[in-house]
Structures are given as structure tokens and as C-alpha cells.
Amino acid sequence: KAGVTQTPRYLIKTRGQQVTLSCSPISGHRSVSWYQQTPGQGLQFLFEYFSETQRNKGNFPGRFSGRQFSNSRSEMNVSTLELGDSALYLCASSSTTVGETQYFGPGTRLLVL
Amino acid sequence: QKEVEQNSGPLSVPEGAIASLNCTYSDRGSQSFFWYRQYSGKSPELIMSIYSNGDKEDGRFTAQLNKASQYVSLLIRDSQPSDSATYLCAVTTYNFNKFYFGSGTKLNVKP
């Protein structure tokens, strides 16, 4: 099976812009979780989607949003980018529930200037 | 109190030695436990999962779970320089609703 894929892999944006990141889970996986990873904060949970519904949400401002499509692919959007949003954004998929093993994609590295 | 606690390290061990990584968690109802390895600049990759008390071995890796004491550990036997990475402990809650990661322990294996 192909693994989790994320696009783009690298992105440079300026403050105030918005960005959309994409994640395609492992075939058959219906749960997609998003994480932000920075050197100082480690892995921070953003949100989790299952069957096109957001099931869980972390403690991030409303500028961070996401959605899931009927084919389980997911997108996350960050509006009004801030310098502090520079991070590695990771997507992880699991077959049904978030409690099952999560498999990570390669990540999207976002740099906000 | 964080849901999952790990010593950030770095933990330095000589090549061939046993590396012992520890993790404690706060939710007594936690059900599933995972160890991930993350190389610098890469995404986390699953090493092992463990669900019941005791030891689980996979090659050079052994995961140990003690639910009464709320800790889970990872032993790496015959450590190799290629094992140098950050090791993340992850725990899921009783109703499997959330997946909590520790901040990771950086392991350095010296040749």
C-alpha cells in the first residue's frame, strides 16, 4: 500500500497570506489527524477528521481549519499567517479511530516570512 | 500536568549498549501505547505498539508497559549509531478519542 502523502512538501509564505495543505491517507484509512511540530513545542494536535466530520480539535485559534472529502483526503487551511506559524505540519492516518496506530506522512514544511 | 511526559535528553549511550527510554502518562484509563522514532527533519515512524501489561519484543526493541505505575518504556539492545534519533511516546485515552504525544527523548549513540 502506498503511504500517507502530503503536498506541497515545502512552502514559503509571507505574513497575512493564507495557505492550504493537502493530505492523502493510506488507502482504506478513514481517520486523518493533523499536527504542528516546532522545535520548542513538539507535536501539537490540531484536529482529526473521520468520515468528513471533525471529531476532535486541539487548542489552536480559528485561523486553523480543515476539512475532509468523501475519498478521505483532507486539507488544512491557515489564514492570516503569522511568523509563529512556521513549522512542520504533519498528517497522520489510521484505519478507523484515532486510537489505532497512526501512520505519518512526510510533512509540509511551512516558512512564514 | 501534561498527559505524556518524557525526559528530553539527550541520552547518550555507546554503540552496542542498551538504551532505555521512559515515558509516564497521567490518564489511568489510557488504552494504547506507541513508540515512534523521528530522525531530524523527517516525520515520525512507528516502532512498536503495546496494549497490555508486560513486555513486547520486536528484534532489538522491547516495549514494556506497567499500567499500575503508569509508565511505558522502550529498550534498544545493541544500540547502533543509526538509532540516533528522537523517540516519541504516544498514548490514547480510554475512549480512543485522542492521541497524546510526549515531547520526545533525543538519543545519541556514539560509535
**pLDDT tens string for chain B (111 positions)?**
778 999 888 999 999 999 999 999 998 888 899 999 999 989 999 999 999 999 999 999 999 999 999 999 999 999 999 999 999 999 987 665 678 899 999 999 999
Residues in chain B within 8 Å Cβ distance of A103: 46
Q: Give ∠ CA A15-A110-A2 in degrees, rounded to 5.
A: 150
Q: Which of A104, A108, A109, A111 has the highest number of chain B CBs within 10 A, making it the mutation to test binding with B? A: A104
Give pLDDT, residue B97: 64
For residue B49, which amino acid is it? Answer: S
Q: What share of chain B is helix, strand, coil (3-state, %, to 5)?
A: 5, 55, 40
Contact (Cβ atoms closer than 8 angstroms) between residue B39 and residue B106: no
Q: Write the DSSP assignment of B75-104 as a string of letters.
A: EESS--GGG-EEEEEEEE-TTS--EEE---
Residues in chain A within 8 Å Cβ distance of B88: 43
d(CA B9, CA B3): 19
d(CA A3, CA A104): 8
Q: Residue A71 contacts by C-beta under 8 Å, 6 or more apart in sequence? A: none
Nearest CA in chain A to B40: A39
- What phi-psi label fits residue A107: left (phi over 0), alpha (psi between -120 and 50 degrees) or beta? left
Written as nine digits, the cell of B23 is: 515515558
Give pLDDT, residue A70: 95
Contact (Cβ atoms closer than 8 angstroms) between residue B90 and residue B36: yes
Give pLDDT, residue B55: 96
Report the relative pairing of strands B11-14 and B105-110 from DSSP bridges: parallel
- The closest of B5, B3, B1 to B105, measured between CA atoms, is B5
pLDDT tens digit at each of 113 positions of chain A: 689 999 999 999 999 999 999 999 999 999 999 999 998 778 899 999 999 999 888 899 999 999 999 999 999 999 999 999 999 999 999 887 556 788 999 999 999 99
Give pLDDT, residue B12: 97
Name the interface residues of B facing A (CB cutoff 8 Å).
31-32, 34, 36, 42-46, 49, 88, 90, 92-93, 96-104
- The closest of B58, B100, B63, B105 to B84, measured between CA atoms, is B105
Give pLDDT, residue B94: 65
Nearest CA in chain A to B42: A106
Residues in chain B within 8 Å Cβ distance of A102: 34, 46, 90, 99
How many CA atoms lie less than 13 Å away from A99 in the CB half-sphere? 12
Nearest CA in chain A to B6: A42
Nearest CA in chain B to A47: B98
Contact (Cβ atoms closer than 8 angstroms) between residue A67 and residue A50: no
Distance from the B102 Cα atom to the nearest Cα atom in chain A, whole angstroms: 8
Residues in chain A within 8 Å Cβ distance of B90: 102
Give pLDDT, residue B20: 97
